[in-house]
Amino acid sequence: MVVGYVVKEANPEYFYFVVDPENIDNLSIGGVVKIYINEIPYFALIEDLISIAVEEERFFDYEAIRYVYGEIKKPQYLIIGKAIFIGCIKDNKVLPEKPQIPPLPGQEIFIPTEEEILKLYSFEDKSTTFPVGYIKLAEKDYEIHAKIKDLIIRHTGIFGITGSGKSTTVAHLIKELVSKNIPVLVFDIHRDYITAFDNAYIITFDAKEKEFIEKLLEERGKNSRVFVGKFSLDIIKEYMGEILGISEKQAAHVFRLLSGLLSCKPKTIKQLLNWLEGEDMEPCARKFLGEDSFKDTTKESLKSRIYRIREWRLFRRNVEDGGEDLEELINRILNEIREGRGIFKEDYEVRDGEVVVKRVEDR
């Protein structure tokens, strides 16, 4: 179906087109149009649609405009669209290629066929995909599928303005992956998904946060488990540049001091600071500082940087600040997931006079 013609400006990235008013219902922003270049069908996403009056500049006063628009009711206007090339179909394959030459003014613009739309947005083997939503093209809804393998092994970005449904889309993707027994790790900074699923393992870094989440889960009737985890202080050495703002190359003496103190296994940030202050030192720390004389400037440099992170909830701040070692906690959770503990429970059913033990999801 021809819905318009190329007008104004065109290049290998985008083109403008004028729309047949009788076919405007077949087009919308976000929809797709087709144009042939060297007999190859190229497809373009509609970025914008605007209507432009073509007579108003000829009117000399408001009464003239009112007469044309209000009484004759025959305004003269054009509907102009802008479309961005997204790819083409060659040898029955969808390719993310743009044309080498631009379309020419006057070329016809088409609506893609149903077969082309399905090829552009979906995959033939539905067993390796799952639905992510619908797109409306030419007054018809098409179900869009995502390929599971590509979603897992590649980077996927979801972009949109505030309120456009980004979090809802992510929640749907997670739900579909979980339904296919694919483990999903979510970094939920804004608590968008803690009540979205049953049988989730939720890790936070603060005991009060744990209490809040558990209360919220109880109110929503969700059967998830919440844990408090803490990073080992050794990670400060491994990611010294990211955490303390200096690297081993920039401050070799500070790195050596930090490495030596961490080898004595301080349990909290407060204990590490006490050792730098020369207080409550355990034998290992006392021996290390006694054998290797560090300048006061080196100690002060490390101490000032540790002070900056002492209130971070990622680490145990003091003996009252509880939490499991994060690496051990994650390994334990992974073992539970592999074995089904905490997710499945035993149920019993009598079949032909025999008791059959079943493992069912614990909801």
What are the DSSP calls for 78-98, one per residue? Answer: EEEEEEEEEEEEETTEEE---
Token digits for 178? 């979980």
pLDDT at 312 exceeding the cut of 90: yes
Highest mean pLDDT among 33-37, 129-133, 199-203, 336-340: 33-37
Q: What letter would DSSP give residue 242?
A: H
Quick: pLDDT tens for 155-195: 888 888 888 888 888 888 888 888 887 888 899 988 888 88
pLDDT at 82 exceeding the cut of 60: yes
Q: Could you tell me the residue range of the domain that residue 244 belongs to?
A: 234-308
CA distance 35 to 357: 61
336 found inside a domain: no
CA distance 67 to 90: 53
The DSSP annotation for 100-134 comes to: SS---TT-EEEPPPHHHHHHHH--S-GGGEEEEEE
In the block, which residue shows the tokens 């979980």? 178
- Average pLDDT (316-343) is 86
In the block, which residue shows the tokens 């497809």? 43
In the block, which residue shows the tokens 């603060």? 206
CA distance 130 to 144: 8
Q: How many separate domains does the chain show?
A: 3
In the block, which residue shows the tokens 């051990």? 328
222 found inside a domain: no
What's the chain's length in residues? Answer: 363
Q: Does residue 105 share a domain with residue 177?
A: no
Q: Is pLDDT larger for residue 245 or for residue 53?
A: 245
Cα distances (Å, whole numbers) of residue 106 to 5, 51, 111: 5, 19, 16
Q: Does residue 108 share a domain with residue 7?
A: yes
Instruction: Give the pLDDT confidence score for residue 295 in this predicted structure.
Output: 87
Quick: pLDDT tens for 23-77: 888 898 888 999 999 999 999 999 999 988 766 556 656 676 677 677 766 667 8
Percent of the chain whose pLDDT exceeds 70: 89
CATH of the domain at 59: 2.40.10
Least confident of 79-88, 157-166, 334-343: 334-343
Instruction: Give the pLDDT confidence score for residue 44 in this predicted structure.
Output: 96
Q: Are 109 and 35 in contact (CB under 8 A)?
A: yes
Range list of β-strands (E), the chain = 2-10, 14-19, 32-37, 40-53, 77-90, 93-95, 108-110, 129-137, 140-147, 201-204, 225-230, 324-325, 344-351, 354-361
Query: Which of 193, 226, 250 delimits the end of a domain?
Result: 193
24 found inside a domain: yes
Task: Give the chain's largest Cα–Cα span.
Answer: 99
Q: Does residue 105 share a domain with residue 16?
A: yes
Q: Does residue 163 share a domain with residue 61?
A: no
343 found inside a domain: no
Query: Which of 113, 138, 162 delimits the end of a domain?
Result: 113
Q: Is pLDDT larger for residue 168 or for residue 346?
A: 168
pLDDT at 361 exceeding the cut of 60: no
Q: Does residue 149 share a domain with residue 71?
A: no
Q: Does residue 82 share a domain with residue 13?
A: yes
Q: Tell me the three state secondary structure of residue 164.
A: coil
240 found inside a domain: yes
CA distance 77 to 236: 66
Q: Does residue 127 share a domain with residue 87?
A: no
Instruction: Give the pLDDT confidence score for residue 60 in this predicted structure.
Output: 57
Amino acid at 129: T
Instruction: Give the pLDDT confidence score for residue 122 in this predicted structure.
Output: 65
Query: Which of 94, 113, 132 delimits the end of a domain?
Result: 113
pLDDT at 110 exceeding the cut of 90: yes
Rounded to a whole number of angstroms, the distance between the first and last alpha carbons of the chain is 52
Cα distances (Å, whole numbers) of residue 359 to 201, 222, 258, 356: 19, 20, 50, 10
Q: Are 310 and 303 in contact (CB under 8 A)?
A: no
65 found inside a domain: yes
Quick: pLDDT tens for 299-310: 999 999 999 999
Least confident of 119-133, 136-150, 236-250, 254-268: 119-133
Counting Cβ atoms within 10 Å, is residue 216 exposed (0-12), middle (13-18) or buried (19+)?
Answer: middle
Token digits for 37? 């270049």
